[in-house]
Copies of this chain bind each other. A is one copy, B any other.
Amino acid sequence: MLSILKRYLIGKPLKTTELGEQKLSNTKALAILSSDALSSVAYGPEQILIVLATVGAVAYWYSIPIGIGVLILLLALILSYRQIIFSYPHGGGAYVVSKQNLGVIPGLVAGGSLLVDYILTVAVSVSAGTDAITSAIPILHSHTVFIAVLLVIFITILNLRGLTESASILAYPVYLFVVALVIIIVVGLFNVITGNGPQVTHSPIGTTIPGGISLFLLLKAFSSGCSALTGVEAISNAIPNFKEPSERNAAKTLTMMGLILAVLFSGIMFLAYWYSITPNAEETVMSQLGSEIFGRNIIYYFIQGTTALILVLAANTGFSAFPLLAYNLASDKFMPRMYLLRGDRLGYSNGIITLGVASILLIIAFQGKTEQLIPLYAVGVFVPFTLSQTGMVIKWLREKPANWFPKMITNLVGALISALVSIIFLTTKFNQVWSILVFLPLIVYLFLTIRKHYEAVGDQLRLNNDIPDKIKGNIMIVPVAGITKVVERTMQYAQGIADEVYAVYISFDKESEQQMRDKWETWNPNVKLIVVHSEYREITRPLLKVIDQMEQKAHENGFEITVLIPQFITKKNWHNVLHNQSSLLLRAYLLHKRSVIVTTVPYRFKV
């Protein structure tokens, strides 16, 4: 049943040899890897306005200089990441770059930060997408959490099916979103130029704020706007997914993405200012802008629909990056080994599933109101930005190849701006991002603990180079509850392979004890029957006593002790209720508490 459902949802398993076919063309890669960055445009400008709105509409003009600041930062990041792409053609995630140039701990800080961040990406993007849907169709407003969870499940399944297939589905919405935003920007600007603009008037640039505006607030608005830059690192993590020459293709795609992002961000930012949009909880800024320019007609719904789609699909960036990062961490033994395994469809399914489950939990915990998570999400991006750019600076200084100086300066600027943004975040939004100071050290500690365990286990399992000695003999202990076919079969087996066989009967009363002795005598399978009386009607302890008595003798002779447990295999599952399941408990006890070898002899009921 379950496996049929799985087959249907995930598709038929792929052979390992089919792996090569999953490479991405530039257009597809742009769609998959930049949906996160591009979709940030849907909430980045809004984040700036939310901060400015605390002063009043009169302060909205500040969004223009702040927006320019964000664009400069974007430029710096794009240039820095181009250099990372060429230096780390096998995938230069912040984890790899920081670890190689700065050391293990900075690497783990970057890795842990990104890992959590991808979970936040999924939760935030899907929630924002759901908001876009419920802004357009208010009747769905009370089902936000349910819709968001369904969407995450849907994306998870797409990713379990494999990258290429999801790419085809994902390419169109991203381009549609770009088209939709271009339409809104072009028509909006046309209105502005022709004077068909909005009724309300915006505060002119340079308007003085009564009472002034604090630097603190401006920095806060700037850092909020930086959330529009999350996701620009995605391409540098995924270089091996590009067609050859993969670095050049990746760099081209990155530049393309930077350009599109810059155009969309400045357009939306400017129009929001010009139309003097006030952010509110019920309707997104994008939705307000759409209604202002087009009214609620078909174009509005088209824009809103593609926004929802791209936000939901932005979550997909997390799904591309998380499993890969988890794989990298796992192959360095900082995460459980299971993240190394490819699933039926060749994706790292454990990473995909972990991400899906974690983000669903976040969405439920925050009841879909994940805008509170955006600052955390943004700071979680800028910490690894800073670390990887710093790593690059160190690399240039150490290796000093041709032309290293301008390259070093580029990364240094990137590092400094990123560090600045991180610090602004931590000071201006401390009450929203303090938790990163708790969980990052915790995660790093966990990584190190896991690594320590694996190393200790590895030492313990390593062989000294000699051929194993056989054991000298084998004592088999068979608990019996009566004389039946099951016991017969177990005895046949035990006598065939053991040097000594003992049947152990645990009696609860003297009567049955004598009966059993007599019956055994008659049946006589050439096996000694040991009868132990259990005063407390309990099986494990008396049996252990027998084992303990034999153990010493066994070890002196180089013998091993094996306990043979017959197990009924019932024909129907509910039949298990009708049969004593103490063999399961006994087995678990012997293995885990006493390290005794246990052989299970199945006996299948025909009825």
Chain A positions within 8 Å of B, measured between CB atoms, are 13-17, 336-338, 341-342, 344, 450, 453-454, 456-457, 460-463, 465, 467-474, 483-486, 488-489, 491-493, 495-498, 508-509, 523-526, 535-538, 560, 562, 567, 569, 575, 577-580, 587, 591-592, 595-602, 604-607
Contacts and interface: CB of A to CB of B under 8 A. Distances in A.
B467 A496 contact: no
A338 B580 contact: yes
Contacts of A523: 463, 465, 467
A599 to B, nearest CB: 4
A227 to B, nearest CB: 33
A203 to B, nearest CB: 55
Nearest to A535: B15
A581 B454 CA distance: 15
A575 B508 CA distance: 38
A453 B599 contact: no
Contacts of A337: 578-580
A378 to B, nearest CB: 31
Contact of A560 (B470, B493, B604): B493
Contact of A598 (B486, B497, B560, B599): B599
Given A13-B538, A461-B486, 7 more contacts: A456-B607, A457-B607, A461-B484, A463-B488, A471-B497, A493-B560, A598-B599
Contacts of A607: 453, 456-457, 460
Given A560-B493, A591-B569, A601-B597, A525 B580 contact: no
A463 B483 contact: yes
A495 B470 contact: yes
A497 B562 CA distance: 11
Given A492-B468, A577-B336, A580-B337, A537 B342 contact: yes
Nearest to A12: B536
A549 to B, nearest CB: 20
Contacts of A536: 13-16, 344
A535 B342 CA distance: 12
Contacts of A486: 461
Given A474-B496, A525-B467, A607-B456, A597 B596 contact: no
A492 B469 contact: yes
A577 B508 CA distance: 40
B496 A470 contact: yes
A16 B341 contact: no
Nearest to A19: B509
A599 B336 CA distance: 27
A599 B597 contact: yes
B580 A595 contact: no
A342 to B, nearest CB: 6
A338 B496 CA distance: 33
Contact of A537 (B341, B456, B578): B341
B474 A461 contact: no
Contacts of A471: 492-493, 495-497
A538 B343 CA distance: 9
Contacts of A491: 468
Contacts of A15: 535-536
Contacts of A537: 16, 341-342
Given A17-B535, A467-B526, A577-B336, A457 B492 contact: no
A596 B493 CA distance: 12
A458 to B, nearest CB: 9
A211 B399 CA distance: 109
Nearest to A455: B607
A122 B465 CA distance: 68
B497 A474 contact: yes
A454 B492 contact: no
A484 B463 contact: yes
9 contacts: A16-B536, A17-B535, A453-B607, A461-B486, A467-B524, A468-B489, A595-B602, A598-B600, A599-B599
A377 to B, nearest CB: 26
Contact of A535 (B16, B469, B560): B16
Contacts of A16: 508-509, 535-537
Contact of A485 (B461, B492, B604): B461
The 6 closest A-B pairs by CB, nearest first: A471-B496, A456-B607, A461-B484, A599-B599, A15-B535, A470-B495
A575 B560 CA distance: 27
A515 to B, nearest CB: 15
Contact of A595 (B344, B467, B488, B604): B604
